[in-house]
């Protein structure tokens, strides 16, 4: 089974790039974040023509939004709201093997890493705290579970271009990393990408639009993740970051993350 996760930063604006990725990589399931459209305007028919007839969409106008489109059946499809907000950040469904697939778009958190002065940062920390408690209660650790998405945190020193310079920058602050670790520990999630790329090596999934030459500057961060529960650890065959997509015409600032599993 092949799953691709991608913060697309407007699915309608980049539908040609999405179609290109689907044709080239042939995933069974595509998880999108930041679709930036209401559910009714999601390009469902285009995905159906490509064979992705099973769809779960949670969208809103102009912001956020997540979707799962699949060539294989999805059951028990659900939309989850967090922090008493309906801001379309989490959908999940059950795959045919009884595996629960979660697609998450975490809050960015604004610019100031101070929850007392920045409500967006406070919201981000609450989001991760609420998710961690929910997953602990849900008891997915002993079951087959997959969590993918833009978590907007780069936890490891080599998940950013400069650990020292970004320690006080939102996405790599110690308080965020601690919040992400509590979520990871809530089900003993396994960071699948780091099964194949050692922590001693740089790994990025996001490059800012601000750099005139993103590839040459290479000031990236690993904000997009693919996790599995311990039961599936030995079934992960590969994880690939499709970084060349960042160089395509009209790119998202994020690139797809592809995970292959023996299921």
What confidence tier does 107 reach under pLDDT thresholds 50, 70, 90? very high
Per-residue pLDDT tens over the stretch 186-212? 999 999 999 999 999 999 999 999 998
In the prediction, which pLDDT does 142 show? Answer: 77
Judged by average pLDDT, the poorest of 43-52, 94-103, 133-142, 232-241 is: 133-142
Residue 8, pLDDT score = 98
CATH code, domain with 247:
3.60.10.10
Contacts of 260 (CB under 8 A, 6+ apart): 1, 2, 236, 237, 238, 239
Place of tokens 């690939």: 240
Distance from first CA to last CA of the chain, Å, rounded? 6
Beta bridge partners of 206: 221, 254
Per-residue pLDDT at 116 exceeds 90:
yes
Q: pLDDT per residue over 207-240, tens digit each?
A: 999 998 999 999 999 999 999 999 999 999 999 9
Residue 19, pLDDT score: 98
Nearest CA among 14, 52, 5 for reference residue 33:
5
Strands 90-94 and 75-79: antiparallel
Summarize pLDDT for 15-35 with one digit per residue, the tens: 999 999 999 999 999 999 999
The predicted-structure confidence for 236-248, as pLDDT tens digits, reads as follows 999 999 999 999 9
190 Ramachandran zone, left/alpha/beta (phi>0; psi -120 to 50): beta
pLDDT at 141: 77
Task: Give the pLDDT score at 143.
Answer: 80
- Of 49, 7, 1, nearest to 25 by C-alpha is 1
* Total domain count, the chain: 1
pLDDT tens track for 139-155: 887 789 999 999 999 99
How, if at all, do strands 2-7 and 257-261 pair?
antiparallel
**Structure tokens, 194:** 């780091």
Average pLDDT over the chain, rounded to an integer: 97
Least Cα distance to 238 among 255, 222, 262, 206 occurs for: 262
pLDDT at position 46 is 96
- The whole-number pLDDT of residue 241 equals 98
The pLDDT of residue 225 is 98
pLDDT of residue 97: 86
Range of the domain at 15: 2-261
CA 179 to chain CA centroid, nearest Å = 16
Cα 183 from chain centre: 14
Q: Can you read off the two tokens belonging to residue 22?
A: 């689907």
Which DSSP symbol is given to 160?
B
In terms of Cα–Cα distance, which of 190, 125, 120, 134 is closest to 153?
Answer: 125
pTM: 0.97
Instruction: Name the pLDDT band for 12 (thresholds 50, 70, 90).
Output: very high
In this structure, the chain runs to a length of 263
Q: What pLDDT digit, counting tens, does each position of 69-93 carry?
A: 999 999 999 999 999 999 999 999 9
110-136 burial string, b = 16+ CB within 10 Å, else e? Answer: beebebeebeebbbbbbbbeebbeebe
Inter-residue contact 128 to 106 (CB < 8 Å): yes
């Amino acid at each position: 089974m092949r799953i691709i996760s991608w913060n697309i930063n407007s699915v309608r604006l980049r539908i040609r790039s999405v179609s290109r990725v689907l044709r080239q990589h042939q995933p069974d399931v595509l998880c999108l974040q930041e679709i930036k459209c209401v559910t009714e305007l999601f390009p469902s028919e285009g995905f159906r023509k490509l064979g992705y007839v099973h769809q779960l969409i949670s969208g809103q106008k102009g912001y956020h939004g997540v979707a799962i489109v699949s060539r294989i059946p999805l059951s028990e499809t659900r939309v989850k709201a967090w922090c008493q907000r309906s801001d379309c950040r989490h959908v999940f469904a059950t795959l045919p093997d009884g595996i629960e697939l979660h697609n998450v778009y975490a809050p960015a958190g604004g610019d100031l890493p101070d929850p007392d002065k920045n409500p967006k940062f406070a919201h981000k920390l609450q989001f991760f705290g609420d998710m961690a408690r929910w997953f602990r209660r849900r008891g997915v650790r002993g079951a087959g579970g997959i969590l993918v998405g833009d978590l907007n945190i780069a936890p490891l020193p080599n998940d950013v271009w400069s650990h020292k310079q970004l320690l006080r920058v939102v996405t790599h602050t110690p308080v965020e990393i601690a919040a992400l670790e509590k979520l990871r520990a809530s089900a003993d999630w396994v960071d699948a990408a780091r099964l194949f790329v050692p922590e001693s090596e740089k790994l990025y999934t996001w490059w800012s639009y601000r750099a005139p030459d993103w590839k040459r500057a290479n000031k990236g961060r690993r904000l997009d993740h693919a996790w599995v529960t311990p039961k599936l650890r030995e079934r992960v065959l590969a994880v690939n970051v499709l970084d060349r997509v960042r160089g395509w015409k009209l790119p998202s600032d994020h690139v797809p993350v592809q995970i292959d599993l023996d299921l």
